[in-house]
Amino acid sequence: MRLEDAARLTHADWISKAEETRARAETRLFIGGQFVDAARGGSFDNISPVDGRLINRCAAGTGEDIDRAVAIARASFDSGEWSRLAPRRRMEVMFRWAELIEEHAAELALMDTIDIGKPITDMIRVDMPQVIECVRFFAESIDKVLGSVTATETDVLSTVIREPIGVVACISPWNYPLLMAIWKIAPSLAAGNSTILKPAEQSPMSSYRVAELFVEAGGPPGALQVLNGLGEAAGQALGRHMDVDKISFTGSTEVGKLLLGYAGQSNMKRVSLECGGKGPHIFCDDLPDDLFDRAVRTAIDGVFFNMGQVCSAGSRLIIHDRIHDRFLERFAELGRTAYVCGDPLDPSVNLGPLIDHGAQARVLGMIERARSDGAQVVFGGSAPQGALAKGAYVEPTLLAGVGQDDFIARQEVFGPVAAAIRVRDDDEAIEVANNSNYGLQGGVWTDNFRRAHRYVRELHCGTLFVNSFEEGDMTQPFGGFKESGNAKDKCFDSLLAYMNAKAAWFRLN
C-alpha cells in the first residue's frame, strides 16, 4: 500500500495490519539472496517497547555468518555484476527499487512502528517519504559522477577516476530504522559497492524487507545482504573484518570510537561516523511576535519529536535573558499538550514509548540528577501511569535553570527532555553553545541578519538553521564535527565518500 492510501487508515485498520505484518515478517539473516538461520543457531527476543510483549525472535548473526556474507559480497564485487554494471543499468534497478519501496510503503512503515514504537503517523508523513526520496536521489546521481583531467605538462595525461570501494558494511541505529539504513545503503549501492547492512538489533524487520525488494528490483543478491546480530558480535565482526573495505556507521559516539579502534587493529578500513549530539538551539532577544511564536513551536518539535530520540535534537535551549521568562512560559503553555502519549498505531498519537525500559530508566534518572543539580522541572519529569504504565513512556519534560556545565547540559539524553539555559548576550550564547564535545546541529532565531551570520560563523556545528530547525532536503549535507562524527550523509558528496579516487599518469612522449 502506498503512502496516500496509508494516510487514510484508522487505528483499527493499523491494529489488524500490524498483526499480519508481524506474523509474516522475516527475522532470519538475508545472505546471498536467501533467508537463513544463523550458523550457530543463535537468536534473541525482540520485545515491544509499547507493552513489553514479545514481537518475534530474531536470528543473531555472529562472526561465521559475517565471514560468509563478506565472501559472497567480495565475489559479487569481483564479478562486476553490480560494481561494473553500466551506470544507466544500475540506475534502472535503483529506480525500480524506489518504486517497490513506494508500493510497500505502508508495510515498511508499520514494521518500524512495531519494532520501536514510533508513531505510525510520523512513519507515514516523515520517514517513508524521505526514504523514497533518498533512493531516487542517489539513483539520479549515478551517472553524474565525474572524474577529472588535471593540469599537467603537455606530454602527460593525468586523470582521476572514481571507482567503488569494494565491500562496504553499514551499521545503523534504531531511532529511524529504515531511514538511517537507507542514508547509507542507497549511496553505497549507487556507487557500485557490495553492501552489507547490520541493522540495530531492536529494529531489523524493515531492513530485511527492503533488501528483499532490492533483489526483486533486479539487484544481484550479492550486492545487498542484511545480517542482524548483537553489536558486540555481528557489528564487531564487521568492524574487525580484514576483507571489509569501509564501515559506514550511525550510532552512539561510544561505539563510533570502538569502530575506529577495530579499523586500526585490523586492515585500516575507512570508517565514516555519524554519532551523537547535544544541539544548541539559540533564541535572541530581537524576535518580533510572529517569529517569537514560531520559534517556540519549532523549539518544542525540535526536542520532543520522535520522543526526543534524535541525534540532531535541539535539546539545549539557549535563551537570551530579556526574553527568557516569556519564552519558557509560552513553551510550557504549548509544550505541555503538543505531544500526546499513546498507542503508536493510533494515527492521532504523536508520542510513543522510548526504545525500551532501560532507556526509560536512564532518562528518568537523568531528570532526577538534573533536579538534584538545581534544575527546576517546569512540566513532565515522570512516566505516565494508567494504561501506558507497561510501556517505556516518558512525558515530555522541560527543565529550567540549567547551568552550561551541568550533567544534563553536556550528556545526550536521547529522550523528550529540554534543558533551558539563560544567557546574557551573544558572546555568552556562543560560548555556551560551543561548550560541548558534540557538534552536530544547531539553530539560531534572530531578526538581525548580521547577528545570524555571526552565529553561523562561530558555532561549531555541521548544520545550522536560521529561523528554522530540522528542515532540509537531499542536497543538504547531514553530519557533524567533533565527537558527533566525521562524515556527511544525504548529499551528493556522500556518494563520493563511497568511492575511491584513482589517479593515473599517462606518459605520452
Catalytic residues: 274, 311
Q: Please, which residue, 9 or 413, has the CB nearer to ligand NAD?
A: 413
Q: How far is the CB of 198 from ligand NAD (least distance, A)?
A: 6
Percent of the chain as helix, strand, coil, to the nearest 5: 45, 20, 35
Which parts of 358-417 interact with ligand NAD (CB under 6 A)? 412, 414
Does the footprint of ligand NAD cover residue 252 (CB under 6 A)? yes
DSSP code for 341:
B
Q: How far is the CB of 238 from ligand NAD (least distance, A)?
A: 7
Q: How far is the CB of 421 from ligand NAD (least distance, A)?
A: 20
Q: How far is the CB of 174 from ligand NAD (least distance, A)?
A: 5
Q: How far is the CB of 305 from ligand NAD (least distance, A)?
A: 13
Which parts of 156-195 interact with ligand NAD (CB under 6 A)? 171-175, 180
Does the footprint of ligand NAD cover residue 440 (CB under 6 A)? yes
Q: Please, which residue, 219 or 276, has the CB nearer to ligand NAD?
A: 276
Q: Please, which residue, 46 or 250, has the CB nearer to ligand NAD?
A: 250
Judged by CB under 6 A, the residue of 122, 274, 395, 483 near ligand NAD is 274
Closest CA to 186 of 231, 248, 108: 248
Which 3-state string (H, E, C) describes 149-204? ECCCCCCEEEEEEEEECCEEEEECCCCCHHHHHHHHHHHHHHCCCEEEEECCCCCC
Q: Specify the stretch interacting with ligand NAD by CB under 6 A; choose among 29-37, 79-87, 205-213, 275-283.
A: 275-283
Edge-to-edge strands of the sheet including 280-283?
376-379, 397-400, 417-423, 316-320, 280-283, 441-445, 463-466
For 406, the grid coordinates are 551541568
- CA end-to-end span of the chain, whole Å? 63
For 484, the grid coordinates are 558527533
Judged by CB under 6 A, the residue of 85, 189, 227, 258 near ligand NAD is 258
Judged by CB under 6 A, the residue of 207, 236, 315, 436 near ligand NAD is 236
Does the footprint of ligand NAD cover residue 116 (CB under 6 A)? no
Q: Please, which residue, 93 or 226, has the CB nearer to ligand NAD?
A: 226
C-beta separation of 337 from 506 below 8 A = no
Q: List phi, psi (to 5°) of 280.
A: -80, 130
**Neighbouring-strand partners of residue 436:** none
Does the footprint of ligand NAD cover residue 426 (CB under 6 A)? no
Q: How far is the CB of 44 from ligand NAD (least distance, A)?
A: 11
CB neighbour class for 19 (10 Å; exposed up to 12, middle 13-18, buried from 19): exposed
Q: In 381-448, where does DSSP find H-type helix?
A: 407-410, 426-434
Q: How far is the CB of 46 from ligand NAD (least distance, A)?
A: 13
- Strand spans (E) along 321-437: 376-379, 397-400, 417-423
Q: Specify the stretch interacting with ligand NAD by CB under 6 A; choose among 152-160, 268-276, 297-305, 453-461.
A: 268-276
Cα gap 217→196, rounded to integer Å: 17
Kindly give, in sequence order, each residue whose CB lies less than 8 Å from that of residue 162, ignoring residues fewer than 6 positions away: 145, 146, 147, 496, 499, 500, 501, 502
Judged by CB under 6 A, the residue of 19, 20, 64, 232 near ligand NAD is 232
> Which residues here bind ligand NAD, judged by CB under 6 A?
171-175, 180, 198, 200-201, 231-232, 235-236, 239, 250-252, 255, 258-259, 274-277, 311, 412, 414, 440, 484-485
